[in-house]
Amino acid sequence: MATVAEALDAANFYYRSRNLRSTDAICRKILQQEPDRPEALNLLGAVACQVGDLERAIASISRAIELNPRQPDFYCNLAESYKRLGKPDRAIAAFRQALELQPDAVEGYKGLGDLLFEEGNFNEAQNCYQKWMQLEPNSAIVRFKLGLLAKERGKIEEAIPLYEQALQLQPNFVDAYNYLGQAFICQGKFEEAIALHQKALALQPDCLDAIISLAGIYERQRQFDRAEALLRPAIEAGTDHAGIIHAFAVLCQHQKKPADAIEPLKQRLSRGDLTASHRRAFLFTLADSYDASGNFDLAFDCYRQANDLKPMTFDPGPTARAIANIKNTFTREGLAGFATASNSSQLPIFIVGMPRSGTSLAEQILASHPRVFGAGERSALHQLAKQIGPSLGSQVRYPRCLDSLNVLAADRIASEYLQMLQSLAPDASFVTDKMPSNFLHLGLIQLLFPGAKIIHCVRHPLDTCLSCYFQDFLGTHAYAYDLNSLGTFYQLYWDLMAHWQQALSLPIFELRYEELVTEPESKIRNLVEFCGLEWDDACLRFHQSDRHIPTASYHQVQQPIYTKSVARYKNYDRYLDVLKSSLGNMSIAFE
């Protein structure tokens, strides 16, 4: 007759082999002999967790922990049970206890990292994944998850090499092919993306994620029939796959059939088993569908629910202090005293403003000109600003470190940025950088690129803020999830732009969205002339360009000029008291 220790060895073997029935039977026999055997209670609970009997799982594992509170794997199993029960806080606490007992417990870092990722705690999640990678340096999965984390933070360029490393370690990694393909889609590399998704389908012919991505490519290319042919069979079969339903809903909107999207979205939301990020995406898309159908009350309710799922982290204090520091540093007198780069390059055109103020439209118009390349939103200037102090050997942070800047250093820093632009389009006379938040760096732009042009995109504050609130941004826009925060941030941005108008000698062209869409030809001609370009009719046919637009406005700028977004806020006026109060008198000049 087997001893209890031998029976436990057998139970563990069966559990690792996924033979849950045999594991359960052996553990029950052990507990008949020794009712308080913690290892058997833990395994019995782990089996219950796997079959979905979560309350029994938690009770059994908790009893095991009472009997032996020093076993880290007990806490990991308890955490998994709480996670499946929808109690992430308790799951996180259990994983932390496991890691306190065993700081090199790989399963603890895996589980804790995944939970923190789902909860939006990206910094701690990254720490967990990096510790996991230290413990398992040949793991393809941890590199893949670090790639997912970079992607969720809007850092696609960091995600790509991580996906590629995962594929080097595991060449049949279907998810890595799909996410690498999605990253290439973000960069407009559609042919490369199609090839990767086809590899995924070759490995797994029923891979819905690959089908979704291929449909997304066709939708961006306005091949709506091909996209629908991929998605509709699954919809008609009653799929509950969140990605398929969401992709179909987005396609319906772009086919101008938003009502077709509403019921599938509502039904999937009603199940209540979506992750926070999926639920947020569904709510934003359902809200968009209601908005396009003219049901503004239901739309706003969904937008509010979606934004409530975003972590509220915006504190206006640090932003206000940073902007005050910029204003105090970059006065007209201060700028005159700083070293200026000696280049006379007119290559960069900076398009700045609030998000959703028309920056994508401005870039699309200019990039339709044969001498202009649209580089999209580049983070390079932000990175350069952060690196200036260390590169100068200064202990003072930007922008105060500019006191140590000399012409040689300014030339070196400017050259780094200009080389980046030239690598994107070696033959272009001008390259646009439409990172909206570069409005923070106009003083630095004057020092590094004295021949640059600046285009400031302006739209009615209520329309701008509401459009931000209605957008499921990729990356961090903490101010955008609350109407009061949006109004506060807009005031800070507007105040800084007013300062630049007084302090800078660089030319700034103010492009008002409402004027652009009501008088397109005259405003586009003014814009082209400001940039020092000869006229080209292609700028009026910007919507016919096949260039890739990676931002949320890609569908809008593929259409001719329209005015339906002007005064859109009036559809939601009854919900905007908080925003109006936060904006103060900002809107009066736009009425």
Buried b (16+ CB within 10 A) or exposed e, 513-526: bbebbeebeebbee
Cα gap 454→122, rounded to integer Å: 34
Residue 82 lies in a domain: no
Give me the DSSP letters along 390-418: HHHT-SSPTTGGGGG--HHHHHHHHHHHH
CA-to-CA separations, 465 to 397, 544, 556, 582, in angstroms, rounded:
31, 29, 18, 11
Full domain range(s) for residue 481: 324-562
Q: Which residues does 236 contact at the CB level (< 8 Å), separation at least 6?
A: none
DSSP state of 485: H
Residue 334 belongs to domain with CATH number: 3.40.50.300
- CA distance linking residue 248 with residue 185, whole number of Å: 18
In a domain, 359, yes or no: yes
Closest by CA to 48, choosing from 19, 81, 85, 17, is: 81
- 20-33 helix and 38-50 helix, angle to the nearest 10 degrees: 150
Model pTM above 0.85: no
* Sign of the torsion formed by the C-alpha atoms of 37, 39, 42 and 43: negative
In the 8-state DSSP scheme, what is residue 541?
G
Residues 6+ apart with CB under 8 A from 273: none
Q: Is the dihedral of CA 582, 584, 590, 591 positive or negative?
A: positive
At residue 176, φ and ψ (nearest 5 deg) are -65, -40
Cα–Cα distance, 140 to 47 (Å, whole number): 27
In a domain, 301, yes or no: no
Give the CB-side neighbour count of residue 466, counting CA atoms within 13 A: 28
Is residue 126, in this structure, part of any structural domain at all? no
In this structure, what are the phi and psi dihedrals at residue 432, rounded to the nearest 5 degrees?
-90, 140
Count of alpha carbons within 13 angstroms of residue 17, beta-carbon side: 11
Per-residue tens of pLDDT for the chain, all 591 residues:
468 999 999 999 999 999 999 999 999 999 999 999 999 999 999 999 999 999 999 999 999 999 999 999 999 999 999 999 989 999 999 999 999 999 999 999 999 999 999 887 888 999 999 999 999 999 999 999 999 999 887 788 899 999 999 999 999 999 999 999 999 988 888 999 999 999 999 999 989 889 999 999 998 888 999 999 999 988 888 888 888 999 999 999 888 889 999 999 999 999 888 888 889 999 999 999 999 999 999 999 999 999 999 876 789 999 999 999 999 999 999 999 999 999 999 999 999 999 999 999 999 999 999 999 999 888 889 988 988 988 888 888 899 999 999 999 999 999 999 999 999 899 999 999 999 999 999 999 999 999 999 999 999 999 999 999 999 987 678 899 999 999 999 999 999 999 999 999 999 999 999 999 999 999 999 999 999 999 999 999 988 876 555 554 445 545 567 788 889 999 999 999 999 999 988 877 676
- Between CA 256 and CA 269 the distance in angstroms is 22
Report the domain count for the chain: 1
